[in-house]
Chains A and B, each alone.
Chain A
Amino acid sequence: MKRRKDFFLTVGMIAAVTAGGLLFSEAAEAYQIKRILRPAAAIVIGANEVVTFDFEDPNADGSTADSLMGGQYFDISKTFILATASDTNDSPLLSRVMAILDDDHTVSLARFSATAGATVELMAIEFVSGVTVRSGITVFSDTTTGTSGRIKTITIPTVDLAKSFATISWKSYSAFNSARDNAYLFTAYFSATNKLKIERSRVLNGYRADVYYQIISFDEDVDVQSGTKAIAGAATSATVNLNAGVECKDPTNPSGALIACHTVPIDRSLLFMAFRAGISSATTGEEGYWPDVALTGTGNTGNTLTFTRGAATSSYDTNVDWFLLEFKDQSYAQTGRVANNATTTPSPGALGAFTLGRTLSTHSSSFIFSGAVTSNVTGNDELQVRALLSGTTALTLTRGAAVTDNNINVSWFVHELPPLKVVQPDGGETLTVGTPYNIQWEIADELKSGGACLAPVAGYHALTLQAYVDGGWENIATGVCPAAVGNTGSYSWSPSATLNAKNVIGNTAKVRVYSQTLGVPPARPADRSRSRNRAPPHR
Chain B
Amino acid sequence: MKRMTLLLFVFAFGMAVSAGAAEQKVPAPANAQPVSVASTNEKAAQTLDKETKEKKNEKTVERIVKGPVSFIRKNSMAVEFNIDKDGAEDIYLTLDKSVKVRNAKDLSGIVQGDSVKVKYLETYLEPKKKDEEPIVLSMVVTEIMLLKKARPEELSS
Contacts and interface: CB of A to CB of B under 8 A. Distances in A.
Contacts of A149: 88
B78 interface: yes
Interface string B43-86: 00000000000000000000000000011011111101001111
Nearest to A210: B157
A153 B90 CA distance: 6
A134 interface: yes
A536 interface: yes
A98 interface: yes
B19 interface: no
A154 interface: yes
Interface string A191-206: 0111000010000000
Given A138-B78, A158-B137, A171-B157, A153 B73 contact: no
A111 to B, nearest CB: 10
B85 A154 contact: no
A137 B77 CA distance: 9
A63 to B, nearest CB: 25
B152 interface: no
A152 B90 contact: yes
A138 B70 CA distance: 5
Contact of A539 (B87, B89, B133, B137): B137
B92 interface: yes
B92 A155 contact: yes
Of B78, B91, B124, B138, chain A has the most CB atoms within 10 Å of the CB of: B78
B135 interface: yes
B135 A153 contact: no
A158 B90 contact: no
B108 interface: no
- Interface residues on chain A, size class: 35 or more
A76 to B, nearest CB: 7
A153 B87 contact: yes
A76 B75 contact: yes
Contacts of B29: 155
A190 to B, nearest CB: 13
Interface in B109-157: 112, 124-125, 133-139, 156-157
A538 B124 CA distance: 10
A241 B109 CA distance: 52
A150 B137 CA distance: 29
Nearest to B29: A155
A483 interface: no
A105 B20 CA distance: 43
Contacts of B84: 146, 148
B73 A102 contact: yes
B153 to A, nearest CB: 11
A319 interface: no
Interface string A111-142: 00000000000000000000000111111110
A118 to B, nearest CB: 16
B90 A138 contact: yes
B129 to A, nearest CB: 12
Interface string A510-539: 000000000000000000000000001111
A151 interface: yes
B90 A539 contact: no
Contact of A153 (B88, B125, B157): B88
A76 B95 CA distance: 14
A147 interface: yes
B157 A110 contact: yes
A157 B138 CA distance: 5
A484 interface: no
Contact of B88 (A50, A148, A157, A539): A148
Nearest to A194: B136
Given A136-B70, A157-B138, A158-B135, A210 B86 contact: no
A282 B28 CA distance: 38
A50 B156 CA distance: 11
B138 to A, nearest CB: 6
Which 7 pairs between the two chains have the least Cβ-Cβ distance? A151-B87, A137-B71, A148-B88, A155-B91, A154-B90, A148-B83, A158-B135
Interface of A: 50, 76-77, 98, 100, 102-103, 108, 110, 134-141, 146-158, 171, 173, 192-194, 199, 208, 210, 536-539
Interface of B: 27, 29, 70-71, 73-78, 80, 83-92, 112, 124-125, 133-139, 156-157
14 contacts: A134-B76, A136-B71, A136-B76, A146-B85, A146-B87, A148-B87, A152-B89, A154-B78, A155-B29, A155-B89, A155-B90, A193-B133, A193-B135, A538-B135
